Structure 1
Amino acid sequence: MQKSIVVITGGPGFGKTSLIHRLKELNYRVGDEYAQEIIQDQLEHGGDCLPWKNGKAFRELIFQKRLAFWSSVVDEELAFADRGIPDQLAFARYQGKAKLSCLIKNSRSYSYFPYVFITSPWKEIYLQNQVRSETFEQACEIHEWICKTYLDLGYQLVHLPKIDVEQRVNFIINYITKLRS
């Protein structure tokens, strides 16, 4: 089943979350970037549901949060997601995980809007921090896996221009408006 949830994705640190925050300010329904939330919470509370400590539990918790958001959006409602379920498949491919059948099944079972907006590598805005530990080069490699995964699943990629947040949001809204009219 396909929903009108527009995925904004790309490598870590390329501006997705800033766009989601702005869309939320504009009163759009949004699904947050759950990985950062979980990592931050686990670090603050001494938990072990972290990708480098208990990857399986971490992946399952992210999936449950993404699925809950996906399920909460009614069929024709326009919503936006900071990453989608296929991102988990892309990250697993990047990490060289062998058991992907469940991730492939989930990625096909829970479909999004057919156009996915991609934040391309942008070194000038990239920052490493306690939650985002990847180097810029690693973020670029993850980005390639994300693009390949969405393409493999039949999505159309729309690469966002490297412009400020407000202009990027306007670009997305205008693009979707034209597609839906």
Structure 2
Amino acid sequence: MSPESTGQNEHYLRVFWRAFRTWRGNRPFWAGLFTMAGGLPIAYFPYANMHLGNVTLAMSTTAGAGSLIIGVLLITLGLTMWFHHIVRVFAGVAAILLALISIPVANIGGFLVGFLFSLLGGALSISWAPGEPVAEDTAVEKDGVTGAGTQAPGPEFHTTAAVPQQPEQYDTTVEADGGRHRAG
């Protein structure tokens, strides 16, 4: 191995993390994560049983199937935000509507936890915008001319800037009386 070969010295976890960060930056990752995290309590709480000593407390309601459907749809919308980010606005609006519907249907929206996460995920999905890719072939050289010899589009940049002339020049030496005198 030579010190110039950088690719062979990297650990596989660092390579995986860098690839994950690139993947995460190209889609509304946090929107999908919050939407899926909001769908889990909405789907889970109507089927959960809490044990307090010998007493079993069932939180099931008559709308258990409705809350299961809402929870599964929210998880599906979160995955859609990740893997089909082109329909992020539709998925965000649908997640917000399902979060609002979960309030009367699924135990106050999964005891407000699922409602708030789904609402936040939908809002993040709607507001997310992809970054503009930077094309390497349209890069402008230092002198403002592209590789083909044509002038680059955009505002003109001049290498020398005209400095405005000041009407009066003052001497910066201080006299004994504390005043400044005009040069010249």
Q: Same fold (TM over 0.5)?
A: no
The TM tier, using the shorter chain, reads under 0.3
Quick check: which one's strand share is greater?
1
Structure number with greater Rg is 2
